[in-house]
Amino acid sequence: MNRFSVRPLHEVTRTLANVASRRQSPDLVLTGARILSTYTERFLDDREIWISEGRIAAIKPAGTCFRTDGVPIYDTEGGILAPGLVDPHIHIESSMMTACAYAEGALLNGTTTIFCDSHEIGNVCDRAGIEWMLADAREAPLNIFLTIPSTIPATNATLETAGGDLTPEKVGAIFDAWPEAIALGEKMDFVPVCMSDTRSHEIIAESLKRGRPVSGHIYGREFVAAYAASGVTDTHEAIDRDIADDFLEAGIWIFLRGGPPTTPWHSLPEAIKTVTELGASHKRVCVCTDDRDADDLFLFGLDWVTRQAVVAGIDPLQAWSMGSLHPATRYGMDGEFGALGHSRRADIVLLNDELEVRNTWYGGALAVEDGKVTPLLDEQLSDERYQYPSAAYNTVTFEDELNLLPVLPDAACTINVIRAELPGIITLHRQISLSTGLDSWEDLFSKHDLCFVSVVERHGKTGEVACGLLQNLGLKSGAVASSVGHDAHNIIVAGTNESDMHMALSEIKANNGGVVVVDRGVVKARLALPIAGLISEKRAPIVAEETSALKAAWGESGCILPYMGFNLIPLSVIPEIRITDKGLVTVPEMEIVPLVT
Amino acid sequence: MNRFSVRPLHEVTRTLANVASRRQSPDLVLTGARILSTYTERFLDDREIWISEGRIAAIKPAGTCFRTDGVPIYDTEGGILAPGLVDPHIHIESSMMTACAYAEGALLNGTTTIFCDSHEIGNVCDRAGIEWMLADAREAPLNIFLTIPSTIPATNATLETAGGDLTPEKVGAIFDAWPEAIALGEKMDFVPVCMSDTRSHEIIAESLKRGRPVSGHIYGREFVAAYAASGVTDTHEAIDRDIADDFLEAGIWIFLRGGPPTTPWHSLPEAIKTVTELGASHKRVCVCTDDRDADDLFLFGLDWVTRQAVVAGIDPLQAWSMGSLHPATRYGMDGEFGALGHSRRADIVLLNDELEVRNTWYGGALAVEDGKVTPLLDEQLSDERYQYPSAAYNTVTFEDELNLLPVLPDAACTINVIRAELPGIITLHRQISLSTGLDSWEDLFSKHDLCFVSVVERHGKTGEVACGLLQNLGLKSGAVASSVGHDAHNIIVAGTNESDMHMALSEIKANNGGVVVVDRGVVKARLALPIAGLISEKRAPIVAEETSALKAAWGESGCILPYMGFNLIPLSVIPEIRITDKGLVTVPEMEIVPLVT
């Protein structure tokens, strides 16, 4: 069961015409249902769906099918049949799962098609990593399309060492080699784009000249005009009502992002006010997940996001359309999915009146029933998953004997410090003046709420380590470390002492990547991410469980900055100050600054 | 000034970003306008459009542009700026104009993009004719895309002799040779499609396997399910509320066709009730013209159709969107036109409050001002039009000495007669019994309101002529003839006497095609159509004038069946009985029947 289990439409139109004309029996009938029509935004009562060749041959009044003996009929008992959801923008790697594993969580959420941007594995493994994930995606029981990562590296080799360097030529080569690469992924360097940077526009051109769209990522109303003028036609970063409105008027589709309400990613409730308060048509509005931790995938899937649109005041039929037909239309693929149209893939969900997913049929095959994975899907996920090549397991390279502590002078000095701020996106640039130089780390730490933070290059390129000080992490003792240090994914380690920091690094190295919490020589939690140092080999429920355990240990260590915010500490494109393997970076200036001034 | 005068977006994104960022001056500013936003379906007050490289760099509050000396500024004085209209389905040949000539009428109507189906020239000249028209289209000041004719011939060589035979292989070859061929045109043989006919589905497959959509043409609610199951995703034949509703639910975009209200083509007012009465969302509803006589093009353009949607109860903003953004979205080209988005082509119209077109900018160039063609456009249309090759002028071939009269026996007999019925689509099959055989034609004609009708094969293939009798044409004396005899476009001639019929044929032959009214040896009106026997060489206003004169003479001859209905007499796919070069065809049975039984 994968995307190719359903034959291309052009091979089966004659069969579908025969079934729809009642000259041939379908393979399956779903009957006694209310149809949620995303085409007309109405419910249609007492209908049935005739399925043949994994596609919808016709939707007709219940009980009217021509059906030979033995053809199965599934009585939905008045439930709602709706199209499977279509997620227009996600990063699979954020779930720390393979594409095959991710499919399990997606199908449980009623999501049957996703447009992913494999920006993270691309930053580690360049084009090869993106292509491994595409091969993985082809074996997954999910329609997975790629929006090609467009901004690798996030900055440049002066500011950080990344594993990948996705040139315009490589972007073009991926388009030409992989038909499922259907757009350019979020062009994150929106300031250079607006400033007409040559390489940024050359990458955009690779998509436009093939007639493919360009996805966006942008903050700040002052940048909208030039960004849209550059050919970008969607964004998932509509964080409030007014910028959402600007996007729509400039010709940019908006993907309203929903996420756990305690995180800053849950921008849907504000952005949707362009519709509910400013009266914009909803027809170019979609919903998306963007990033989702493995455990959150089971609680805050795209179905949940869609229901949040209802909570925010959108009509339920319009909301489901924003999660299915609209994303399909945005990518010009509404002839294949996004609605219960004749000839479309039979990617169908059964909902209760609260729009909660009970069943999911993927290409006409029952993959989820009563909220649980069916034996059919379970067997596939156990046996038929893609195996990444050995190179994918060999991406964490650094020396054992590293100095992880900064050096401070014995004289008066001023130290540049990174202050973590909740909810965990922006950092603040603080300076601490020492009138007589360093007395002891303990005194300094307790007085200013500091700990050590280091970034270790792990791509085997430079072997460099940068050491600094982090304020307001909250860590009481021990160390935390991660090989998911956005976007270059070098190792970030923070700690109160060098010994635990070394132990955390050793754990990560031993697992070829991962996230770890260590205290006084004891590993409190460990999530192994051996594939590219980003991805677990395990199935979705196990990764979810391990993620929960990690988060619990993370909280017990005292860290108030969430795990995701910690991973962003090296991301040298978000203000105000960051640390990469090259040192401290002040973002507005895009400069390396010394620890001590 | 043609489609290629505006460079591809990927070549100019840096310039557009510079202009939108106010670092570079635009080429033109349209200021002081209300913007009709098809994205959000709202009016935006007091705005200006910055145009650069023939594209929209940005839309901003009026008076905010960075502009160097000498950059022109056009004050719209509070008028409405809206996107140029997009016609999702038209046949250029119906206007009897070349593509270059058609552009003049289109731009006057505020139409800047059309999706044409060159079904008629394809029926005469096969692939070559379609490609001549594509070459013509490339020189026209209009964005012209092709939906490849899909049903040539309309039936088969037993029932009629056509010039073209567009096999699946030829359809595929056109797709591969012409990037502007972006869909399969209306698949008119909907019954064979629903019956899973092999050739019909092979032609559909040529489009689907290239990821291209398939356009439709279908009557009868009983066929909708199987037709949609065959992969068809639009139709312009939504003739009433209920079938329009069926189409939408089956996943078919509907193009509401508007035409002169006295004709049967004006189906918009009924079909739109799926929205206004049944509550379907308008988001997959478009408007189109389909066919338009040259004179009608100046009165009943797509702008008129759009306003008719308003008359029918649609909000003006939604109506304009149905005529611009929705068709562009249907074809996945909303990144290029259909709305006033940044980076889109500057195909812009200036409207008054009644949505009447005052100005049209095509790719940023002012082509229509105050309802009149500008000198810029006028010069191009006079000097730079495409010249069809000599083969296009050599498509009317038949012998001079033809017998045009039927032969009736001297004994009792029953004659199969075609009865014309207003408004001119359906014909009725009548039988007239003669108890003693033919007495005189005059007596028979006056008693039964008959005249002669013959179809003369003109493709130089068989030289055949079929002779019959036509009831209720109304012709008092003389003859009428046309080389536009749908769909094979053999010559149809009707008359009260053989001499005038011969004269009419001679006129058509002398002009390499045309339509003519003759009475007692005098040519009353003549419209020369030398290109493929379908198309005039002249400019739009002249063809319009000649068409008006022809219609006047047509009426004066006594004909009550309009010219267009007469041209459909040979179309052997519309009930009940037709005449082709092969003889009388009964449509339900698709059989040749003899004149006398």
ipTM, 2 dp: 0.96
pLDDT score for B405: 95
Residues 6+ away with beta carbon under 8 Å from A240: A267, A270, A271, A273
CA distance B123 to B165: 7
CA distance B368 to A483: 62
Instruction: Provide the pLDDT confidence category of residue B410 given band limits of 50, 70 and 90.
Output: confident
Asked if A196's CB is within 8 angstroms of B17's CB, the reply is yes
Residues in chain B closer than 8 A to A339 (CB atoms): 251
Average pLDDT, chain B: 97
Q: Tokens in use for A41?
A: 């935004």
pLDDT score for B67: 85
CA distance B441 to B438: 7
Query: Within 10 A of B555 (CB to CB), how many other CB atoms are there?
Result: 14
Residues in chain A closer than 8 A to B204 (CB atoms): 10, 13
pLDDT score for B588: 85
Q: What is the mean pLDDT of residues B312-324?
A: 98
Query: Within 10 A of B179 (CB to CB), how many other CB atoms are there?
Result: 10
Asked if B8's CB is within 8 angstroms of A40's CB, the reply is no
pLDDT score for B383: 82
Q: What is the mean pLDDT of residues B225-248?
A: 97
A223, with CB counted inside 10 A (0-12, 13-18, 19+), is buried
Nearest Cα to Cα of residue A524 among A497, A499, A494, A555: A555
Position A563 pLDDT exceeds 80? yes
3-state helix, strand, coil in chain B (%, to 5): 30, 30, 40
Q: Does an H or E element contain A37, and which?
A: strand A28-37
Position A262 pLDDT exceeds 90? no
Report DSSP state, residue B8. P
Instruction: Provide the pLDDT confidence category of residue B504 given band limits of 50, 70 and 90.
Output: very high
Asked if B9's CB is within 8 angstroms of A250's CB, the reply is no
Asked if B40's CB is within 8 angstroms of A225's CB, the reply is no
Contact assessment for residue A229 and residue B16, using Cβ atoms and an 8 Å cutoff: yes
The pLDDT tens digits of the residues spanning B157-193 come to: 999 999 999 999 999 999 999 999 999 999 999 999 9
Q: Where are the beta strands (DSSP E) in A464-597?
A: 465-471, 479-485, 490-495, 514-519, 522-528, 577-580, 583-586, 591-593
Position B69 pLDDT exceeds 90? no
Contact assessment for residue B151 and residue B486, using Cβ atoms and an 8 Å cutoff: no
Q: What is the mean pLDDT of residues B221-228?
A: 97
pLDDT score for B276: 98
Task: For the sheet with B285-288, list strands across it.
Answer: B85-90, B111-116, B143-148, B181-187, B214-216, B234-235, B253-257, B285-288
Contact assessment for residue B345 and residue B363, using Cβ atoms and an 8 Å cutoff: yes
User: Considering all CA atoms of chain A, what is the largest pairwise distance in Å, rounded to the nearest integer?
Assistant: 92
CA distance A143 to B183: 24
- B435 or B229, which is more confident: B229
Q: What is the mean pLDDT of residues A100-112?
A: 98
**Beta strand B143-148 with B181-187: parallel, antiparallel or unpaired?**
parallel
The pLDDT tens digits of the residues spanning B330-340 come to: 999 999 999 99
Nearest Cα to Cα of residue B230 among A52, A91, A33, A208: A52
In percent, how much of chain B has pLDDT > 90?
Answer: 94
CA distance B82 to B37: 7
Instruction: Provide the pLDDT confidence category of residue B97 given band limits of 50, 70 and 90.
Output: very high
The pLDDT tens digits of the residues spanning B382-398 come to: 987 899 999 999 999 99
Residue of B nearest to A53 (CA): B229
Distance between A129 CA and the closest CA of chain B, angstroms = 27
Q: Does an H or E element contain B17, and which?
A: helix B13-20
Among B21, B40, B283, select the one facing A226 at the smallest CB separation.
Answer: B21
Instruction: Provide the pLDDT confidence category of residue B262 given band limits of 50, 70 and 90.
Output: confident
Contact assessment for residue A540 and residue A296, using Cβ atoms and an 8 Å cutoff: no
Among A40, A194, A341, select the one facing B17 at the smallest CB separation.
Answer: A194
Residues in chain B closer than 8 A to A225 (CB atoms): 20-21, 57-58, 60, 342
Instruction: Provide the pLDDT confidence category of residue A284 given band limits of 50, 70 and 90.
Output: very high
Cα A236 to Cα A145, A271, A288, A421, B476, distances in angstroms: 17, 10, 7, 23, 70
pLDDT score for A90: 98
CA distance A253 to A233: 6
Among B58, B196, B284, select the one facing A18 at the smallest CB separation.
Answer: B196
CA distance B98 to B392: 12
Residues 6+ away with beta carbon under 8 Å from B13: A201, A204, A205, A208, A229, A230, A231, B343
pLDDT score for B297: 96
Phi, psi at B167, each rounded to 5°: -75, 165
With tokens 């996703």, the residue in question is A114
Distance between A8 CA and the closest CA of chain B, angstroms = 8
Asked if A11's CB is within 8 angstroms of B251's CB, the reply is no
Residues in chain B closer than 8 A to A285 (CB atoms): none
With tokens 């476009």, the residue in question is B489
Q: Tokens in use for A200?
A: 């940024």
Query: How many Å is the Cα radius of gyration of chain B?
Result: 25
Asked if B229's CB is within 8 angstroms of A342's CB, the reply is yes
CA distance B154 to B486: 9
Q: Which amino acid is at A115?
A: F
Contact assessment for residue A197 and residue A159, using Cβ atoms and an 8 Å cutoff: no
Q: What is the mean pLDDT of residues A423-431?
A: 93
Q: What is the mean pLDDT of residues A282-294?
A: 97
Position A384 pLDDT exceeds 80? no
**Beta strand A111-116 with A143-148: parallel, antiparallel or unpaired?**
parallel
Q: Tokens in use for B137?
A: 């289209």
Average pLDDT, chain A: 97
- Preceding peptide of A153 cis, ω within 30°: yes
Among B40, B228, B278, select the one facing A342 at the smallest CB separation.
Answer: B228
Q: What is the mean pLDDT of residues B466-485?
A: 97
Nearest Cα to Cα of residue B288 among B208, B215, B359: B215
The pLDDT tens digits of the residues spanning B196-219 come to: 999 999 999 999 999 999 999 998
Cα B486 to Cα B239, B475, B528, distances in angstroms: 21, 20, 17
Position B29 pLDDT exceeds 90? yes
Q: What is the mean pLDDT of residues B39-46?
A: 98
Asked if A341's CB is within 8 angstroms of B194's CB, the reply is no
Alpha helices in B413-456 (DSSP H): 441-448
Q: What is the DSSP string of B234-252?
A: EES---SHHHHHHHHHHT-
CA distance B302 to A457: 62
Position A431 pLDDT exceeds 80? yes
Distance between B308 CA and the closest CA of chain A, angstroms = 22
pLDDT score for A504: 98
Alpha helices in A220-349 (DSSP H): 224-229, 241-250, 268-271, 273-276, 294-297, 302-311, 316-322, 325-330
CA distance A363 to A347: 5
The pLDDT tens digits of the residues spanning A438-471 come to: 889 999 999 999 999 999 999 999 999 999 999 9
The pLDDT tens digits of the residues spanning A574-597 come to: 899 999 999 999 998 999 999 998
Q: Is the pTM of this model over 0.95?
A: yes
Residues in chain B closer than 8 A to A198 (CB atoms): 14
Residue of B nearest to A338 (CA): B251
Q: What is the mean pLDDT of residues B567-572?
A: 96
Contact assessment for residue B532 and residue B421, using Cβ atoms and an 8 Å cutoff: no
Position B273 pLDDT exceeds 90? yes
Asked if B14's CB is within 8 angstroms of A201's CB, the reply is yes
Q: How many residues does chain A have?
A: 597
Among A10, A15, A231, select the one facing B13 at the smallest CB separation.
Answer: A231
Residues in chain B closer than 8 A to A329 (CB atoms): 329
Query: Within 10 A of A227 (CB to CB), how many other CB atoms are there?
Result: 28
